[in-house]
Structure 1
Amino acid sequence: MNISRSRMLLFSWLLPFTALAEPIQPTHEFTLQNGLKVVVREDHRAPVVTSQLWFKVGSSDEPPGKSGLSHALEHMLHKGSSKTCAGEVSAILDNLGATHNAFTDSDVTTYHQTVQPHQLGVAFELMADMISTAHLRAEDFIPELAVIQEERRLRVDDDPDKIAQERLSSIAFPASSYGAPIIGWLHDLQRLNADDLRHWYQTYYAPGNATLVIVGDVTLEKVKPQVERYFGVLAARPFVAARTSLELAEPGERKVILHQAIPAPRLIMSFNAPSLATVENRRTVHALRLLNTLLAGSNSARLRKRLQLTDRLFSSISSEYNSLYRGDSLLTLTAQLHSQRNESLDQAQARIWELLDELKSAPPDSVELERARTQLIATQIYDRDDIVNQARNLGALESIGLSWRLMEEDIDELNQVTPADIQHVARTYLTRQRLSTAHVHVHVEKNNE
């Protein structure tokens, strides 16, 4: 069989990645009597360990009028518990030289620390107390709520990109609960109170609604007794099971128009698509991931090469698709018009449609697909060099109702995607019936003189 030199070179890059893709770290799982699931991955390449506690609750679980509740509770868990005063958890971990933080997302709230292995018990004790005996006092929440509101103003309201993304999300999910921002709408934040926090805490912060992920220089024999000592004593409690936010198959074309203080017009196109947790066949999601990379994942990607680097229509263009949602997801293209061009956003969007329609008419050739596949697989391999990224991937899978074992199958399944698969998902999901668009125009101050 004749193989072109370019294809041989691409395979020469891919083969080392697939060889390295074999699982090399022993991974264990067990569940405590109170329902807490624990995943332990051994990685002895450095004398550090990361511990991440994932609760299956996020902004998508919040009822109307209570947006921002999960994120506010995350803030308040550092305001004191039965063993610590406000700020003491951070002070203890800082004194140990640990890195630590927390984050809230659409489906999860996660608390994480990276420490030396002999310090892991301290991290466990602090976390176990924080998630079971937090004070959540009204006198602490009032000033913290002001901090959160200011965070929203600085990170969202004063950022044209974040505002555009927020407004687009609000129309991109007409039937599901992903439309509200994780940080919350300002008018909702102004109405939250400590009783809301306590109810949310009691409803979702149960051991059976969480997964503890530990990755690093540990063994199961050493870490399991510590987990049982600090987390096993927590009482099992009933909790509200996570909801799956399913979207309409074809919601219809939607559009929002904004005018903001930006240097050049911007265009955002989001297409409703399934996630790994909602798709019937995982191959569809892997094809969407490769399609996302093929469209604008690198300078050699189709949209970026032709519309940014060659035609110079856009000064930047990127794509994003997150398959690790509990509910349905989006594939999003974001582009900024080049300041020297006079095209309208409608004309720019028409150019993007031309390239999308090309992909629907003819599948990508094998070289183009292998280039995208190599890039995506390389990213997966490099992620495994970082214990924090490993833990995040394991925790994310478990928290959306899937098994961490899918992480080990990921590269093999990416390798099975064909050009025809790419064409099929392009035809299925890159349609106007699934499209939400944001046109962000340059706001021009009127001269009243």
Structure 2
Amino acid sequence: MKRALTLLALLAGMHALAQQPASPAPVHPPASESAKATGAQQFTLQNGMQLIVQPDRRAPTAVHMVWLRVGSMDEVDGTSGVAHVLEHMMFKGSKTLPPGEFSRRVAALGGQENAFTSRDYTGYYQQIPASRLQDVMQLESDRFAHNQWPDEEFKRELEVVKEERRMRTDDQPRASLIEQLYASTFIASPYRRPVVGWMSDLDAMTPGDAREFYARWYVPANAVIVVAGDVEPAQVLALAQKTYGAIPARAVPPRKPREEPEQKGMRRIAFKAPADQAYVALAFRVPGLQRVSELAATDRDALALMALSAVLSGYDGARLQRALTQGADRVADNAGSDASVVGRGPSLFLLSGVPAAGKSAQDVEAALRAEVARVAREGISAAELSRVTTQWAAGTIYARDSLQSQASDLGHNWVQGLPLDADERLLQLLRGVTPAEVQSVAARYFGDDQLTVATLVPQPMAARPSKPAPDAAAPEGRLH
């Protein structure tokens, strides 16, 4: 099963809950209870910054990450892309380090490093020998507190981001279509803006825009340090207090809700671009998963929608593949689904497909909806549901073999205000979903009124080198 369907990805965007500063001590409940299940320990520094430590002594290495509860959804109109641009600029110097020196020093320590930005969060990480943890904590805390760079450095890096947009979106018809789909589906929600930003906003962006975003959101109480590897929690806490704990405390700015209004009718867009094949994507507004305990009815529905997506396309030979892409009269070359029901913003259930030769985008659209209607009419078997929950369990277990995955899971959970053992809790909840619940959500959430359809209308291809299509759903990161 693809990593995108594991619990890590399912947890990547749940709704955030604020955490309050406290004295440096393990967080008590629910974190103390969840620590028993994960082995992780959570602390709060005097300035409000959080620390999570996950000991794993199988190898003398460690992963060090800093996650901030800020992403493109926290931007304002006219500065789309600034969260991602700032991520790039964090590598361009501090009061004590010139541009590029941070990366050079991490490499000299025998480490690897990078960063990422999504709608909901921004993160930075290094994987290093465990004995060099103090060095990277000093480096990361310095740039967190003292990021600065010349205006000329900003102008050069902004051109890198623009090229990134061209490569990942403008030159990729399907990625451009998904961008247009989100812009058409959402009206009030900041999810309507692309993480990389609109090109016109990038053209108009100033060094001051990035500095203002940095000053506003890069505050200790809006961040967590995650360390996983061959470490002792008490020693990591002491290092964190010495480095990050010296950063002055500041309040996290208030966030306005910007709730998306109810959609009251189908929306359609046609997107013309040079392409070999048509493509169609359907976005249905659905409820999101907001908690992993004391569930509301909408949380139960979100769990059932996750299961529905896995039954439709979560494994080789799943329903959409069998019905649309196999046989002499196949409709599509490929087809898939995605229950994007976790995030700080509104949720969507996506269906998509590429028409087979002799078939149209309308044929694929009808076939995709017919498969959901079939589930609503006939239901699914207990065996189908058991298969996908077994795969979820396997994905959770395999992820523990990677320090990067362990640290990422913990960072995701913190961003969403969840307990440290949220992955285990979610897995148990998914195991409790019934075939009747899956049939029920298939019947209730796939009508016309909450649907937006985007169709790629192929135009003649100009001669140009082909480029591999990137993952349109992946967080934005630095180009190398």
TM-score if structure 2 supplies the norm length?
Answer: 0.84
Cα distance change of structure 1 residues 244 and 275 upon mapping to structure 2, 3 Å threshold: farther
Distance 1:244 1:388 in 2: 32
Distance 1:221 1:316 in 2: 51
Who is 2:120 aligned against? 107
Cα distance change of structure 1 residues 373 and 406 upon mapping to structure 2, 3 Å threshold: same
Say yes or no: does 1:288 pair with 2:305. yes
Q: How far did 1:130 drift?
A: 0.5
Distance 2:85 2:325 in 1: 40
Aligned partner of 1:442: which letter? P
Who is 2:24 aligned against? none
Structure 2 residue corresponding to 1:126, chosen from 139, 142, 164: 139
Say yes or no: does 1:307 pair with 2:324. yes
Say yes or no: does 1:384 pair with 2:400. yes
Distance 2:237 2:402 in 1: 22
Who is 2:213 aligned against? 200
Aligned residues: 423
Aligned partner of 1:70: which letter? A
Aligned partner of 1:412: which letter? Q
Q: How far did 1:376 drift?
A: 2.3
Cα distance change of structure 1 residues 245 and 418 upon mapping to structure 2, 3 Å threshold: farther
Distance 1:424 1:368 in 2: 16
What SS does the aligned partner of 1:215 have?
strand
Deviation track 1:287-311 (CA, whole Å, cap 9, x = no partner) reads 2211111111222211111111234
Deviation track 1:11-58 (CA, whole Å, cap 9, x = no partner) reads xxxxxxxxxxx9764111010010001111122222221111111111
Distance 1:273 1:82 in 2: 47
Is 2:340–2:350's contact at 8 Å kept on the other side of the alignment? no
Aligned partner of 1:69: which letter? V
Deviation track 1:261-293 (CA, whole Å, cap 9, x = no partner) reads 222211111122233337834333322211111
Is 2:396–2:423's contact at 8 Å kept on the other side of the alignment? no
Which has the larger displacement, 231-240 or 273-282? 273-282
Structure 2 residue corresponding to 1:436, chosen from 418, 431, 452: 452
Distance 1:90 1:400 in 2: 29
Who is 1:368 aligned against? 384
Say yes or no: does 1:148 pair with 2:148. no
Is 1:102–1:111's contact at 8 Å kept on the other side of the alignment? yes
Q: How far did 1:114 drift?
A: 1.0
Who is 1:12 aligned against? none
User: 1 or 2 for the larger relative contact order (CA 8 Å, sep ≥6)?
Assistant: 2
Is 1:277–1:401's contact at 8 Å kept on the other side of the alignment? no
Distance 1:53 1:244 in 2: 25
Is 1:61–1:243's contact at 8 Å kept on the other side of the alignment? no
What SS does the aligned partner of 2:191 have?
coil
Q: Equivalent residues in 2 for 1:419-434 (5 A)?
A: 419-434=435-450
Distance 1:384 1:246 in 2: 36
Who is 2:100 aligned against? 87
Say yes or no: does 1:160 pair with 2:173. yes
In the alignment, structure 2 segments of 5+ residues that lack a partner are 1-34, 463-480
Q: How far did 1:242 drift?
A: 4.6
Cα distance change of structure 1 residues 210 and 137 upon mapping to structure 2, 3 Å threshold: same
Which has the larger displacement, 365-374 or 84-93? 365-374
Who is 2:202 aligned against? 189
In the alignment, structure 1 segments of 5+ residues that lack a partner are 1-21
Q: Equivalent residues in 2 for 1:346-425 (5 A)?
A: 346-425=362-441
Deviation track 1:69-122 (CA, whole Å, cap 9, x = no partner) reads 100111111111022110011011112221210011001111111111111111
Distance 1:280 1:326 in 2: 17
Say yes or no: does 1:57 pair with 2:75. no
Cα distance change of structure 1 residues 392 and 242 upon mapping to structure 2, 3 Å threshold: farther
Aligned partner of 1:292: which letter? S
What SS does the aligned partner of 2:303 have?
helix
Cα distance change of structure 1 residues 51 and 322 upon mapping to structure 2, 3 Å threshold: farther
What SS does the aligned partner of 1:247 have?
coil
Is 1:59–1:69's contact at 8 Å kept on the other side of the alignment? yes
Distance 1:244 1:41 in 2: 33
Q: How far did 1:164 drift?
A: 0.9
Which has the larger displacement, 185-194 or 377-386? 377-386
Who is 2:275 aligned against? 262
Distance 1:170 1:214 in 2: 37
Is 1:136–1:198's contact at 8 Å kept on the other side of the alignment? no
Distance 1:172 1:427 in 2: 21
Is 1:93–1:100's contact at 8 Å kept on the other side of the alignment? yes
Aligned partner of 2:326: which letter? L
Q: How far did 1:174 drift?
A: 2.1
What SS does the aligned partner of 2:248 have?
coil
Q: How far did 1:67 drift?
A: 0.1
Say yes or no: does 1:298 pair with 2:315. yes
Aligned partner of 2:388: which letter? A
Is 1:324–1:400's contact at 8 Å kept on the other side of the alignment? no
Distance 1:345 1:303 in 2: 15
Deviation track 1:369-415 (CA, whole Å, cap 9, x = no partner) reads 11222222222222222121222222112112333332231221111
Who is 1:337 aligned against? 355
Aligned partner of 1:332: which letter? L
Identity %: 32
Who is 1:17 aligned against? none
